[in-house]
Amino acid sequence: MKRVITYGTFDLLHYGHINLLQRAKKYGDYLIVALSTDEFNWNAKHKKSYFSYEKRKRLLEAIRYVDLVIPENSWHQKLTDIKEYHVDTFVMGDDWAGKFDFLEEKTTVDVIYLPRTPEVSTTQIKEELQNKGDVED
């Protein structure tokens, strides 16, 4: 069985996220999503998610391409996750291109960067809602 892993916050889940997950799943039989916890988002990324970790986790678990959701608690857990879950392929959006190439050197994992869906992003959605006065920062 080929295992694939991807990481992200997946806040305000949209079709760009679904596209990424669907394409990631094509690289293997089992897709693991490491979902950033609320604490990690706040402490390391300095951003607050609209939906809590538990709600984002439930949304991801309902997607047919996703087989397992695990917590992402730090930037440094990737090597451990790859070994613990016997991952064959590491997939991220191409906005991270080059940032995880070191994983190929330290493990047997293939690192793939997939093109983002250009017309949608969580940041864009939040900005549009904020401009309409519908979301507080």
Q: Which of 2, 25, 26, 47 is catalytic?
A: 47
Report the distance separating Cα 123 and Cα 100, nearest Å: 22
Strand partners, 93: 114
Residues in the chain: 137
The reply to whether 83 belongs to the active site is no
CA atoms of 21 and 92, how far apart (whole Å): 10
CA distance 22 to 64: 9
Is 106 among the catalytic positions?
no
Of 107, 96, 72, 99, nearest in space to 32 by CA:
72
Catalytic residue among 2, 26, 45, 48: 45
Residues forming the active site: 45, 47
